[in-house]
């Protein structure tokens, strides 16, 4: 078999080309942010900063959507699981094959339509107006803030891990570099800068992963030697359940529900539809996205599996992706390919910083507390909160937990448990009421927290807590809505048309 | 935009959502059913170094789902008359009302 030397030991010799590639990557990112910021001049600040004046096109929408979705968990945590658990992780990730269909097909067009019609800039905005409830808006904003800070911590950790392996940097220095870079361009350029840099980063991600996969397959001599090696270590690495019963049927089912639905409950993803302003843009973006996802996700998991063969001596599974790249890709190209996970991390951080910033400035300060905002004041507050949230996540990330992917799953499924039912009921069911939305929100979030506290990631019947939380959330939302008086007729007609009355 | 147009748009997006959910459930049934059924074979049968269950249970539905997604997207693009809407809400209950 090829190299069995720990991949991080190989890195130091290659660091010059890797460093140059990273510098080039960061320079391009800042140039794009600068161009976006120039284009934004003279526009109304809040609408420009949080939804780019609703002028995002299909390509940028598709790429920013997928770049936000693909995080450090995707590029660091998921390959780490594949490295540990072999081919079973292809079932674990298989729900992504329908993620564009559910993510854009179910809510995309509807939210774009309602966003343009109502002027909503954030998801709490939309729910607040649908149910005429400031309380609902405030609670959703606070939950977004709490869970996204946890998610941000995971991204910072992932970014620092890439820096550790790619540049031989100490963990703390990697953290500082990642957080400083992304916080500055997010605060500077707002949504348009985030979307443009996301689009660039999405291209880097896909290019990097496809190149890495090609080189890794070449170096391994195809799948045959890898399968032999895995079978020698444990035949379960080739089985659908994986070693140590990693993926029993109940968990396979859970993840096929979690991934396609979790994207529906992500304020950072849904807010992209608010920025498109035209339903035809969503339709075109769906087509672009489905091709992108098909190429990206199976490649990432396969790379993790190849990594077990090519880079077996890593210190922690989270190093599987960068170590495999280093082991397989030629020196002159390693920097570009290593920029792929870095791009995924930066694009997610920037989007989440923006959403948490909007939760504070737009949802809590502006709409709930009712403070007036001049453009100047909005700019100061938005940029200030972006830096503040970045600093809080950075401080927490200095003491990293072991597995990134579990933080990501907790945050994303927690948000989904909270947001999905109230959102779907709000936009698709005229009979949904404010009390029903409260019941769905508290039922979903409370049930999720309770199950995690009592039974961790495997709840009743071995299913993920998300499945039960979501079911309860919908059930309570529907029952309580039916038991309470409908929202006023004018509001229902305004949202649903004549049949909504 | 008239009330009738808003109603038509609502019904259209609801129909789209149902198609998306149907596609999702079909893919889930295929992946879980075929993968576990073929995955019970011991020792694991390999095709070109890849487990057979992964080729037929995961790889093939990825391709089919992409084809379905493409059809779905073209169907959405083909829909007309539901592009950029005009603001519809009154002051109360509108995000612009207290902005």
Q: What is the pLDDT of residues B44-87, one digit of tens each?
A: 889 999 999 999 999 999 999 999 988 888 877 776 544 455 55
Domain ranges of chain B: 3-74
Tokens of A295: 């190429």
Who's near A494: CB < 8 A, 6+ residues apart? B6, B88, B89, B90, B93
Q: List the alpha helices (DSSP H) in A1-107.
A: 7-40, 45-51, 58-69, 72, 78-85, 89-92, 99-105
- Please compute the mean of the pLDDT values over residues B16-21 and round it to a whole number: 89
Q: Which residues of B touch A428 (CB under 8 A)?
A: 10, 13-14, 17
Put simply, the answer to whether B95 touches A119 (Cβ < 8 Å) is yes
Say what the pLDDT of residue A345 is.
Answer: 86
CATH superfamily ID and name for A7-36+55-404: Sodium/glucose cotransporter (1.20.1730.10)
Q: Give the Cα separation of A150 and A393 in Å (integer).
A: 7
For residue A240, what pLDDT is reported?
92
Nearest to A105 among B20, B87, B95 (CB): B20
How confident is the model at residue B92, as a pLDDT? 46
Average pLDDT, chain B: 81
Is A232 near chain B, with CB under 8 Å?
no
Is the pLDDT reported for residue B3 higher than 60?
Answer: yes
Does residue B97 register a pLDDT over 70? no
Encode chain A (501 residues) as per-residue pLDDT tens digits: 444 444 444 444 456 777 888 888 889 988 988 888 888 776 777 777 777 777 788 899 899 899 888 877 788 888 999 999 999 999 999 999 999 888 888 888 888 888 878 878 888 888 888 998 888 888 888 888 888 888 888 888 888 877 887 778 888 998 998 899 889 888 888 888 888 888 998 998 899 899 999 999 999 999 999 999 999 999 999 999 999 888 898 889 988 988 888 777 788 888 888 877 677 788 888 889 999 999 999 999 999 999 999 988 887 887 788 888 888 988 777 777 878 888 888 888 888 888 888 888 887 778 777 777 777 787 888 888 889 998 988 988 887 666 656 666 777 778 888 889 999 999 999 999 999 999 999 999 899 888 888 877 677 777 888 889 999 999 999 999 999 999 988 888 888 887 766
Contact between A55 and A370 (Cβ < 8 Å):
no
Chain B residue with minimum CA distance to A223 = B49
Could you tell me which chain B residue has the CA closest to the CA of A100? B69
The ipTM (two decimal places) reads 0.84
Nearest to B49 among A222, A257, A494 (CB): A222
pLDDT of residue A115: 82
Whole-Å CA distances, A300 to A103, A211, A280, A322: 20, 11, 30, 12
Phi-psi sector, A329: left (phi>0), alpha (psi -120 to 50), beta: beta
Which of A49, A96, A97 should we substitute to test contact with B (largest number of B Cβ atoms within 10 Å)? A97
A206: closest CA among A375, A63, A334, A306? Answer: A63
Residue with more model confidence, A364 or B93: A364
One DSSP character per residue, A177-213 reads: HHHHHHHHHHHHHHHHHHHHHHHHHHHHHHHHHHHHH
Q: A172 vs A16, A82, A334, CA distance in Å?
A: 21, 27, 23
Closest partner residue to A132 (CB to CB) among B16, B49, B93 is B93
Q: How close, in Å, is residue B98 to chain A by CA atoms? A: 7
Alpha carbons B36 and B54: distance in angstroms, whole number: 10
Q: In chain B, what is the straight-line distance between the N-terminal and C-terminal CA atoms, in Å?
A: 23
Asked if residue A154 lies in contact with residue A318, where contact means CB atoms within 8 angstroms, the answer is: no
Longest CA pairwise span in chain A (Å): 71
Shortest Cα–Cα distance, B77 to chain A (Å): 5
pLDDT at A45: 74
Hey, which residues 172-211 in chain A have their CB within 8 Å of chain B? none
Give CA–CA dist A99/B79, Å, rounded.
Answer: 22
């Amino acid at each position: 078999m090829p190299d069995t030397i720990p991949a991080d030991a190989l890195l130091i010799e290659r660091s010059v080309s890797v460093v140059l590639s990273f510098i080039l990557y960061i320079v391009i990112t800042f140039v794009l942010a600068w161009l976006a910021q120039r284009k934004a001049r003279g526009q109304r600040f809040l609408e420009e900063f949080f939804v780019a004046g609703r002028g995002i096109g299909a390509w940028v929408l598709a790429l920013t959507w997928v770049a936000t979705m693909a995080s450090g968990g995707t590029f660091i945590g998921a390959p780490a699981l594949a490295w540990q658990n072999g081919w079973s992780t292809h079932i674990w990730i298989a729900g992504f094959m329908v993620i564009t269909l559910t993510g854009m097909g179910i809510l995309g067009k509807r939210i774009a339509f309602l966003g343009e019609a109502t002027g909503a800039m954030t998801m709490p905005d939309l729910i607040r107006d649908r149910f005429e409830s400031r309380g609902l808006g405030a609670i959703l904003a606070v939950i977004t803030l709490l869970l996204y800070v946890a998610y941000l911590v995971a991204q910072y950790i992932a970014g620092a891990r890439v820096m550790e392996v790619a540049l031989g940097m100490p963990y703390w220095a990697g953290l500082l570099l990642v957080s400083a870079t992304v916080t500055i361009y997010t605060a500077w350029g707002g949504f348009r800068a985030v979307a443009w840099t996301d689009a660039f980063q999405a291209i880097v991600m896909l290019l990097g992963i496809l190149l890495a996969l090609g080189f890794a397959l070449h170096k391994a001599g195809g799948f045959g030697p890898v399968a032999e090696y895995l079978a020698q270590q444990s035949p379960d690495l080739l089985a659908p359940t994986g070693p140590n019963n990693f993926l029993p049927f109940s968990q396979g089912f859970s993840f096929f529900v979690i991934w396609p639905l979790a994207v529906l409950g992500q304020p950072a993803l849904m807010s992209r539809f608010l920025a498109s302003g035209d339903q035809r843009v969503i339709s075109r973006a769906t087509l672009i996205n489905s091709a992108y996802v098909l190429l990206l996700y199976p490649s990432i998991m396969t790379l993790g599996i190849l990594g077990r063969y090519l880079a077996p001596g890593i210190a922690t599974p989270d190093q599987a992706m960068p170590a495999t790249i280093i082991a397989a890709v030629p020196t002159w190209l390693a920097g570009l390919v290593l920029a792929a996970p870095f791009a995924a991390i930066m694009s997610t951080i920037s989007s989440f910083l923006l959403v948490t910033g909007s939760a504070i400035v737009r949802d809590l300060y502006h709409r709930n507390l009712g403070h007036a905002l001049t453009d100047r004041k909005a700019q100061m507050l938005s940029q200030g909160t972006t830096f503040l949230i970045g600093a809080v996540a950075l401080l927490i990330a200095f003491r990293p937990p072991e597995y990134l992917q579990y933080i990501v799953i907790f945050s994303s499924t927690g948000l989904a448990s909270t947001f999905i039912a109230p959102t779907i009921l709000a936009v698709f069911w005229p009979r949904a009421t404010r009390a029903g939305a409260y019941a769905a929100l508290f039922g979903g979030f409370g049930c999720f927290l309770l199950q995690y506290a009592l039974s961790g990631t495997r709840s009743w019947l071995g299913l993920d807590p998300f499945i039960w939380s979501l079911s309860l959330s919908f059930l309570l939302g529907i029952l309580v809505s039916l038991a309470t008086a409908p929202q006023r007729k004018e509001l229902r007609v305004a949202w649903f048309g004549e049949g909504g009355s | 935009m008239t009330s009738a147009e808003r109603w038509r748009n609502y019904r259209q997006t609801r129909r789209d959502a149902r198609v998306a959910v149907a596609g999702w459930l079909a893919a889930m049934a295929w992946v879980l059913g075929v993968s576990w059924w073929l995955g019970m074979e011991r020792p694991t049968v390999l095709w070109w170094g890849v487990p057979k269950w992964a080729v037929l249970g995961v790889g093939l539905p990825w391709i089919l789902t992409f084809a379905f997604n493409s059809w779905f997207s073209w169907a959405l693009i083909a829909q007309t008359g539901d592009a950029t809407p005009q603001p519809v809400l009154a002051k109360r209950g509108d995000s612009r009302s207290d902005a």
